[in-house]
Amino acid sequence: MLGAPVITIFVRHSAACKHKDDAHAEQFRHCSCRKHLRWSQDGVQHRISAKTRKWDEAEKARAEIERRFILGEPVNSKPTVRKTLHDAIETFLKQKNTQGVTRGVLNKYKRELERLETFCVERNKTFPQDVTLDDLVEFRADWERAYPSPTTRQAVQARLRGFLRYCFQARHIDRIPDLSPIRGKPSPTMPLTPEEYQKLLAKIPEEFPDQTKAARVRALVQLMRWSGLAIRDAVSLERNEIQYDSKKKVYKIATSRQKTGRHVSVPIPQDVAEEILAVVNGNRRFVFWTGNGQEQSAVTNWQHDLRSLFHAAGFPTGHPHQLRDTFAVELLSKGVSLEEVSRALGHDSIKTTERYYARWVAARQDRLDHSIMNAWRT
C-alpha cells in the first residue's frame, strides 16, 4: 500500500468572477467557478479537474483520489513542469520590456529580482512556490542598508509585488504574500548656497591629488550643478549630447532621463561646457564612463567619490542629489515657473516637482508679496 501525496483543492476562476483577483482567490469556496485538484509526486506537479463547481463535491473527489493512491490504483492526471524562479524572473522581465518601460526602470527590476534570486538560491529555494512570506520578510530586512531612503524602499517593494502578482496570475504560486507596507518619509536633500558650492569645488584638488581625476570630478560636479542631471544621467552622458547651438551661440545638454524617459535640453555656461569637453578621453562615446562593464558599477563608483568630496568639504551628510536641487532652486528663486523647472528636470509630472520644491515656490510668493507691498509705498 502506498501513501497518498498531499492533494490541494484550488479554483480556476472565470474572467467574469468578481473574486478572480482576490489575494486568496484559489482557495475561495463560495463561487461557482470550476474546482481542480493538485499534488506533487517525485518532483513533478500533477493537476486534474474535480469535475464540479462545488467545494464539498471537490472534497469528495479529493478523498477518492487519496483512496486510489492508498490502494495503488492508477490515477490519470496531467503532469506539469514547474517553472523555476530563474525562469519566472526571465519571463517577467521580457513581459515588462514589451510594456514599454524605460531602460532605467527595466534595469531596476532586473537588479532587484537578481538579488531576490541570489537570496533564494542560497536558501535552496528553487521554485516560486518555495518562497514564503518569512523568506520575503528576511529578504527585505537588508533593504534599509541597500536603500537608505524609505521612498526608494517603497518603490522596490512595489516592483517586488509586481513580480509576485505575475507569478500568481501565471499560477506559479497559490497566493500573493501579504507584505506589510513600508512607512516613513525621506529626509529631503537641500540645495547648496553659493558659498557652500565654492567650498565644494575648492576641496577637489585636496581630495583628489591626481590632476586628471580631479579635473574629471570637477567636470562632473559642474555638469550636475548647471544642468540639473541626476547622477545616473550625468555619468552615462554621451559626448554627442553636449551640443553647440550656433544660432543662439550657447552649449546645451540634450539627453533623455533614464528614470522617466523624458527628453531634456538645458543650456549651460560656456566655461562649464569647455571644462566638460576637456575631460573627454579621445574618441570615447561617454564622457564619464568607459562604456565597459556595468553602468551601475560606474554610477556607484562616482557616487562614492562625490560623497567623499562632500564629507571632506565639511558636509558629512552631503549627497550628490544636492547639485540637482541647487540647479532647480536657483531657477525657482529667479522667477522661473514651476512648469518650466519641471520640464528642465525631466520630471514625469509637475506634481513631482511641486512635491520636492514646494517650499521654494512659497518663498517666491513671499518675494512677490513683498514687491507688491513695496509698490504700494511708491
Mean pLDDT of the 126-132 span = 88
Alpha helix stretches (DSSP H) within the chain: 55-71, 85-98, 103-121, 133-140, 143-146, 150-169, 194-207, 211-227, 231-235, 270-278, 295-312, 321-333, 338-345, 350-377
> For the chain, what is the mean pLDDT?
88
For the segment 57-116, what is each residue's pLDDT rounded down to a tens digit? 999 999 988 888 888 888 776 655 678 899 999 999 999 999 888 777 888 899 999 999
- Separation CA 197–CA 1 (nearest Å): 81
**Sign of the CA dihedral 26, 29, 33, 39?**
positive
DSSP letter, residue 53: S
Mean pLDDT of the 221-241 span = 95
Of the candidates 69, 365, 321, 292, the residue with the CA atom closest to the CA atom of residue 186: 321
**According to the model, what pLDDT value does residue 90 have?**
95
> How much of the chain, in percent, has pLDDT values that exceed 70?
94
**According to the model, what pLDDT value does residue 77 have?**
67
- Separation CA 329–CA 359 (nearest Å): 10
C-alpha dist (Å) from residue 98 to 94, 106, 107, 158: 6, 11, 14, 19
Q: Is the pLDDT of residue 142 over 80?
A: yes
Mean pLDDT of the 153-170 span = 93
- Among 46-50, 126-130, 173-177, 253-257, the range with the most confident prediction by mean pLDDT is 253-257
Mean pLDDT of the 363-368 span = 67
Crossing angle of the two packed helices 295-312 and 211-227, in degrees rounded to 10: 90
DSSP letter, residue 27: G
Is pTM beyond 0.75 here?
no
For the segment 274-302, what is each residue's pLDDT rounded down to a tens digit? 999 999 877 789 999 988 888 888 998 99
**According to the model, what pLDDT value does residue 1 have?**
41
Domain range list for the chain: 8-80, 85-169, 194-369
Q: Is the pLDDT of residue 184 over 80?
A: no
Q: Which cell goes with 173?
A: 504560486
The structural architecture, per CATH, of the domain 194-369 is Orthogonal Bundle (1.10)
What band does 199 get if pLDDT is binned at 50, 70 and 90? very high
320: part of which helix (H) or strand (E)?
none
**According to the model, what pLDDT value does residue 80 have?**
58
